[in-house]
Structure 1
Amino acid sequence: MMPDRVAQDVDSRMALAREWDELVAQVRDLPGFEDFLRPPRLSSLLPAATGGPVVILNVSQWRCDALVVTSSGVQVVELPDLDQNDVAAQTRAYLDAVEARQDETERGVDSDAVEGALERCLRWMWDAFAARILDRLGYTATPAGDAWPRVWWCPTGALTLLPIHAAGDHRTPGEAVLDRVISSYTPTLRALVEARAATGSRPAGSDRMLFVGVPETPGQATLPSVLTEEKLVTGLFGDRCTPLIGKQAKRETVLAGLLTHGWVHFASHAEQNLDDPSHGGVLVADGVLTVTDLSAQQYHGDFAYLSGCKTAVGGTDLPDEAITLAAALHYTGYRHVIATLWSVHDKQAAEVAREVYQAITRDGVLHADDAAEALHHAVRKLRARRREWPSMWTPFAHTGP
């Protein structure tokens, strides 16, 4: 390259760099954009912990810690019993068990081997980090009254794939997360801050329920409880409910309905591609309503219930990128999302949905801020009857404030 050409390129790059700096400075002068392209200030993230501590789980080859965020600051809880190699091994064993459980659900059988693998994973999480964190927070026993403390889990790495809310030795009373706190998840602190700030921001007329039910899907098992869930939801919401059943539940119709309804319930099969999670989605009448489809629009929803299978499982290559159906709906405007981590029994899915809706619906109005507590007690009730089958009560998870 000629010297003159090199000099011209250098001058051009310097001019572009100056222009970039000037444009960034102009953006930062705009109200609300003071931190544009800057790391968020801690003071702007602490409101995430308004309702209770947020536990960020950090796993690395050097050490593992929990960063416990409260409204007053951050404390570090060392996790000497948590190891990166153990996390990888446990996650692999867990995913193998989940895959086997999904195969069994489709064939209508149950396996003690799968239940044993899930129990071992839940006990390992309890011993490796969950018990230590709850003890440090002072949550050492089952609450005596109705006022349960809440904890938000913000896992990183492979831990994003595990059911932390169900960690515990469930053979011993009080030795489980379910016995001490109400758990929720958040993909980031900022997402939780925004979800808290969105209260009351829904447009007028959006206090309606969109019910999307697909009982028959080619190549999939029939879901007879879809009609049970439809009867439940339409009975609770009456003329506030718009049902899209079977062939009515087409992709474009559903996407349009999401814009005009503050609440949505999906009762259908779903599929998740762990290697390419953005292509997973809910199976509707004319194909798949993918994570990408949902993420292309901004909603003003208050509540989404994903009663389909595998709606809260992300990818393995980029586990920190919480690309799940649940996360997609949460990021795009639904403050509260209830979803399942893997394939669940049709009967148990309908049972938990009934318990949740009856607890959060009054006079045809859904009170979304009660969703986490309602799900918590519904899962504990199911566990009390089927303690030896963790695959039935472990999958249900809440994301949001």
Structure 2
Amino acid sequence: MTSAPRPEAAAAHTAERRMALAREWDRLIEEIHGLDGFQDFLAPRLGTLLPTARSGPVVVLNTSRWRCDALVVTTGGVQAVPLPRLTVESIAERTVTHLEALQEVELAVHDLQTARLEYGRGEPMSAAARHRSRAMVALHRALERRETTLVSLLRWLWDTVAEPVLGFLGFVEPPGGDTAAWPRLWWCPTGLLTLLPVHGAGYHDGSRRTVLDRVVSSYTPTLRVLAEARRPLGSRPDDERLLIVSLPDDPDQAPLTDVARERELLLSLFPDRHTLLEGADATVQAVRSQLPRHRWVHFSCHGGQDLLDPSRGGLALHGGDVLRITDFGAQRHRGEFAFLSACQTATGVATLPDETITLAAAMHYTGYRQVIGTLWSVYDDIAADVATAVYSDLTSTGRFEPARSARALHTAVRALRDDRRLAPGVWTPFTHTGP
């Protein structure tokens, strides 16, 4: 019989094996760096990334159990702004509370939908009516809790993250005037901060102590991706068309009554430059086939993100099929603009928060420069209102100009807050990713 190896011998063997693999890794990386065009593979030089900040600073939010900092990237270099009031423990606590409040609303909406279906199917009227009444009360309470939680979260994000960063950059007063002249700022959160609405941070009580009143915000998954998105797209007039994916009804979802309004708007703005996939034509296969042929795409449908299994997140299309995040990662696109008028298209993943696995980020990674998405579920009439405002802005010169999408979205969101005085939970979800 052969005796089992002694523990110290096994440990030594494991250590030697790891060292050998590390040496092999270093050798392979060095070999790759010697290939033409791969000099920065997995190790980009700082000088190649600084130009990404030529239109405005990029703020990388770095968190650890030892300390948290904002790494402010400008064309002149990188400076660390300490965030002493921010800790990984407080981030985790706030994130859990935030996600629980969002989930409570989702469950309440689903319960109300079920109650309405029971009422419509002719279930015993008294029982169905009681169920519907209870569901409506539960949804009202869930929405109240979400708003209370969100207001507290946005103020905390201002105190711990946004105010120190904006103060360091000198953005201490509302710029005033036309939004076209406002400063731009890109947020690059890491860890659990990827799940939180940093762009909405502030005291939205008229004091103007908010990110929304100081800068036009965008997100970027990484500096390298932002650099890639700034490269010239090239001219191909044949693909300067808008793909419209419109799915107002889904048997397993609540009807989206305002999808028709979005569709009519887009048909009027792009009368000769569109492809419409609607209802039964809006299949996963059809969408995947048409995406490479269009520079712009607009989705009006249900969407979702599974925080525990990111591969299941995506856009709900005809027949109950889902255009998943992995579908976009399977090929490169030469897209310029994507508007995701669907729920939870920019939501991160709790188990892998540093992985870029949201639908909005996946589309950005695979070649779509400008992506507008949502962090959580939105009312379809509000989504239609935002789409109307954004597209009207981007076509106001007589031609479609997606490069202005961040400012157009910023203006639309401020109008929801200031002109219509809607609660933060209504307008905070909308985000822009890209240059």
**What TM-score does the superposition give when structure 1 sets the normalisation length?**
0.91
**Is 1:137 equivalent to 2:175 in the alignment?**
no
Q: Does the Cα contact within 8 Å between 1:64 and 1:83 map onto a contact in 2?
A: yes
Aligned to 1:46, what secondary structure does the other structure show? helix
Offset of 1:368 from its aligned partner? 1.1
Distance 2:234 2:309 in 1: 33
How far apart are the structure 1 equivalents of 2:304 and 2:169? 37
Q: Distance in 1 between matches of 2:61 and 2:75?
A: 18
**TM-superposition CA deviations, 1:305-361 (whole Å, max 9, x none):** 000001111211110002011011000000000001111011111000100000012
- Write the mapping of 1:34-113 to structure 2, written as runs, cut at 5 A: 34-37=39-42, 39-105=43-109, 107=112, 109-110=139-140, 111-113=143-145
1:128 is displaced (CA, Å) by 1.2
Alpha-carbon offset, residue 362 of structure 1: 4.5
1:66-110 deviations in Å (ceiling 9; x for gaps) = 000001100110001111110000011111122223345554754
Q: Distance in 2 between matches of 1:299 and 1:398?
A: 18
Which range is displaced more, 272-281 or 200-209?
200-209
Question: C-alpha displacement at 1:27, in angstroms?
Answer: 4.3
Match of 1:298 among 332, 336, 344: 332
Per-residue CA distance 1:135-163 (angstroms, 9 max, x = gap): 11100111122210011000000000001
Question: 1:316 is matched by which residue type in structure 2?
Answer: A
Aligned partners of 1:18 and 1:157: how far apart in 2? 29
State the 1:201 CA deviation: 2.7
Contact 2:337/2:369 (CA < 8 Å) preserved in 1? yes
Per-residue CA distance 1:262-313 (angstroms, 9 max, x = gap): 0000000011110111221100013000000111010000000000001111
- Which whole-Å CA distance do the structure 2 matches of 1:177 and 1:235 have between them? 34
Change (3 A) 1:169 1:125: same
The CA distance in 2 between the partners of 1:214 and 1:18, in whole Å, is 51
Are the equivalent residues in 1 in contact too, given 2:243–2:298 (CA < 8 A)?
yes
Question: Which consecutive unaligned segments of at least 5 residues does structure 2 have?
Answer: 3-15, 113-135
Matching of residues 117-128 of structure 1 within 5 Å: 117-128=149-160
SS of structure 2 residue aligned to 1:238: coil
- 1:48–1:155 distance in 2 versus 1, CA, 3 Å: same
Which of 384, 389, 400 lines up with 2:418 in the alignment? 384
**Code of the aligned partner of 2:376:** W
Larger radius of gyration: 2
Letter in 2 for 1:80: P
Name the structure 2 match of 1:210. Answer: 243
Report how far residue 204 of structure 1 moved: 3.7
Instruction: Report the Cα distance in structure 1 between the residues aligned to 2:63 and 2:24, rounded to whole angstroms.
Output: 39
Q: Give 5+ residue unaligned stretches, structure 1.
A: 2-9
* 2:121 paired residue number: none
- Kindly state the Cα deviation for residue 364 of structure 1 after the two structures are TM-superposed: 6.3
| Superposed CA RMSD | 2.1
Question: How far apart, in 2, do the equivalents of 1:260 and 1:55 lie?
Answer: 34
What residue in structure 2 maps to residue 258 of structure 1? 291
Task: Give the structure 2 partner of residue 171 of structure 1.
Answer: 205
Equivalent residue pairs, number? 386
- What is the CA deviation profile of residues 231-262 of structure 1, one whole-angstrom value per residue up to 9, with x for unaligned ones? 01111011101111111101111011110000
Measured in 2, the distance between the counterparts of 1:288 and 1:271 equals 9
> Structure 1 pair 202/282, CA: closer, same or farther in 2 (3 Å)?
farther
Given that residues 270 and 309 in structure 1 are in contact (C-alpha distance below 8 angstroms), is that contact kept between their aligned partners in structure 2? yes
User: Mean Cα displacement is larger for which, 334-343 or 98-107?
Assistant: 98-107
Q: AA paired with 1:190?
A: R
The equivalent of 1:4 in structure 2 is none
Q: What is the CA–CA distance in structure 1 between the aligned matches of 2:375 and 2:153, rounded to whole Å?
A: 14
Question: What is the percentage of aligned positions where both structures have the same residue?
Answer: 50
Letter in 2 for 1:269: H
* CA shift for structure 1 position 34: 1.9
- Preserved contact between residue 278 and residue 324 of structure 1 (Cα < 8 Å): no
Once the two structures are TM-superposed, the CA of residue 388 in structure 1 deviates from its matched residue by 5.3
Residue in 1 that maps onto 2:354: 320
| 1:65 CA drift (Å) | 0.4
Partner of 1:5: none
**Structure 1 Cα separation of the partners of residues 25 and 191 of structure 2:** 37
Amino acid at match of 1:113: R
